């Protein structure tokens, strides 16, 4: 069989032979020219030259395969993936600033220009360029951290007005800030690209999910639709939509929902924004910001030959990453946490034996049962403070 017969594209992708096959083919061709008794082992000059030619072809085929795979978001990576997703109207998320919804109160009609607030740690938070306090005397807007990265602020800690403005009386954050993110990974971008293709779908609900997911800063999202005439188990009224959105600008989220939802369908949640359509008609859009549920894990293990503290650190990191990757409202299954506790079957897992795994939510007690989250709760686990190893 000729090499050309081993290089082809079919319904399963691009195919090419491995290096040993290419080397054997080159050696065979060489012997057809110079005789079957020619010596082509690795310690000969002729053998080394044939190996150089075979490796050059193999490397070229590897590059060709990467070029072929770069045309699909499923297999592309790096810059190629960044280019591919532009076809879906999205782009790779760059490093972002932390964001938090703050309630601004004061005299109706007061205009706050380039307002800035400060939390108890001295970290500054920037309000939108212009905020007008409505007749009700208060408005909820999204403030952005002055410093890029994962700047944290617990609920109720942003209370100091930095930009003193006549008529602006108080500021506070009812919920914790959503931490900023590093540059979006290939895996996260592929997931978001898959969701984004739902925007033009036949289902309006899935189109809404796609539109919200495509907004800058949105990290996690869950949507609920109650098409019945009565309140459902989550407390959502009949004929209402409810979205739980982590990250992103509140006004942008409200505008996306208002643009995509069907007329007459209500929205439900504790965060409210006022949207204005192309005809100047205003509408109140409601949605939820997730309530953070702090998950703590206690892992008891027996150290075996080869166990080190660095392996223990890897266990803690894997556990925290697994919990933080759970979707909004997803239950924490104890049995599934044994997988990251054993490092997903890596060789290092042979150096210890997990004997007990316990979990708890917030200030509760450690236990060995699954933990159910509310429909608008998101799991959070800090590797430094919420994962404990007991080595015996």
What CATH number is associated with residue 237?
A: 3.30.460
Q: How far apart are CA 73 and CA 194, in angstroms?
A: 9
Nearest Cα to Cα of residue 259 among 200, 208, 220, 221: 208
Complete DSSP assignment for 149-193: B-----TT-EEEESS--TTEEEEE-SSPPBPP--SPPHHHHHHHH
Task: Domain count for the chain, please give it.
Answer: 4
Record the tokens describing residue 206, joined without a space: 């899935």
- Boundary of a domain, candidates 219, 252, 287: 287
Q: Output the pLDDT for position 191.
A: 77
Enumerate residue ranges in the chain where pLDDT < 50. Answer: none
Q: How far apart are CA 66 and CA 68, in angstroms?
A: 5
Whether 341 and 382 share a structural domain: yes
Residue range(s) defining the domain that contains residue 274: 198-287
- Boundary of a domain, candidates 266, 287, 308: 287
Cα-Cα-Cα-Cα dihedral of 63, 66, 68, 74, to 10°? 180
By CB atoms closer than 10 A (0-12, 13-18, 19+), residue 173 is buried
Whether 378 and 306 share a structural domain: yes
Entry pTM: 0.57
Cβ atoms 359, 372 nearer than 8 A: no
- Boundary of a domain, candidates 237, 263, 287: 287
What is the number of residues in the chain? 392
Complete DSSP assignment for 284-299: EEEEBPPEEEEEEEEE
Q: Output the pLDDT for position 250.
A: 93
pLDDT per residue as tens digits for the range 210-224? 889 888 888 899 999
Whether 321 and 275 share a structural domain: no
Q: Output the pLDDT for position 100.
A: 92
Answer whether residue 283 is part of any domain: yes
Q: Output the pLDDT for position 299.
A: 97
Q: Which residues of 56-88 are buried (b: 16+ CB within 10 A; e: fewer)?
A: ebbeebeeebeeeebeebebbbeebbeebbeeb
Q: Output the pLDDT for position 229.
A: 93
Answer whether residue 208 is part of any domain: yes
pLDDT per residue as tens digits for the range 308-318? 999 999 999 99
Q: How far apart are CA 226 and CA 375, in angstroms?
A: 13
Cα-Cα-Cα-Cα dihedral of 50, 54, 59, 64, to 10°? 140
Q: Output the pLDDT for position 152.
A: 84
Q: Output the pLDDT for position 178.
A: 84
Q: Output the pLDDT for position 200.
A: 61
Answer whether residue 7 is part of any domain: yes
């Amino acid at each position: 069989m000729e090499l050309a017969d081993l290089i082809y594209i079919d319904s399963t992708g691009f195919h090419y032979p491995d290096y040993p096959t290419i080397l054997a083919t080159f050696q065979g061709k060489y012997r057809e020219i110079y005789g079957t008794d020619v010596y082509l082992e690795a310690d000969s000059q002729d053998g080394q030259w044939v190996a150089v030619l075979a490796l050059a072809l193999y490397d070229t085929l590897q590059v060709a395969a990467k070029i072929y795979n770069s045309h699909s978001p499923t297999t592309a990576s790096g810059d190629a993936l960044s280019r591919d997703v532009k076809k879906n109207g999205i782009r790779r998320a760059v490093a972002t600033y932390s964001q938090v919804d703050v309630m601004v109160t004061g005299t109706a009609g007061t205009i706050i220009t380039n307002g800035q607030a400060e939390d108890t740690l001295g970290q500054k938070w920037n309000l939108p360029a212009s905020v007008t306090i409505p007749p009700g005397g208060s408005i909820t807007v999204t403030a952005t951290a002055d410093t890029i990265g994962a700047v944290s602020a617990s609920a109720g800690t942003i209370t100091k007005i930095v930009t003193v403005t006549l008529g602006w009386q108080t500021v506070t954050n009812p919920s914790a800030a959503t931490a900023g993110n590093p540059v979006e990974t290939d895996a996260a971008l592929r997931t978001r690209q898959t969701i984004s293709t739902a925007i033009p779908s036949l289902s309006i609900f899935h189109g809404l999910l796609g539109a919200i997911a495509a907004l800058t800063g949105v990290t996690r999202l869950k949507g609920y639709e109650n098409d019945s005439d009565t309140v459902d188990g989550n407390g959502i009224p009949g004929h209402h939509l409810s979205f739980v959105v982590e990250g992103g600008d509140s006004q942008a989220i409200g505008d996306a929902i208002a643009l995509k939802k069907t007329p007459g369908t209500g929205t439900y949640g504790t965060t409210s924004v006022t949207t204005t359509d192309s005809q100047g008609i205003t509408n109140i859009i409601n949605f939820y910001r997730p309530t953070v549920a702090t998950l703590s894990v206690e892992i008891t293990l027996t150290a075996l030959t080869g166990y080190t503290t660095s392996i223990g650190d890897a266990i803690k990191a894997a556990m925290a990453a697994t919990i933080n990757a759970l979707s909004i409202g997803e239950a924490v299954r104890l049995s599934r946490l044994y997988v990251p506790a054993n490092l997903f079957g890596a060789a290092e897992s042979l150096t210890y034996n997990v004997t007990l795994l316990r979990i708890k939510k917030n200030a509760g007690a450690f236990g060995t049962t699954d933990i159910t989250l509310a429909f608008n709760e998101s799991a959070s686990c800090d590797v430094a403070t919420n994962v404990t190893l007991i080595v015996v």
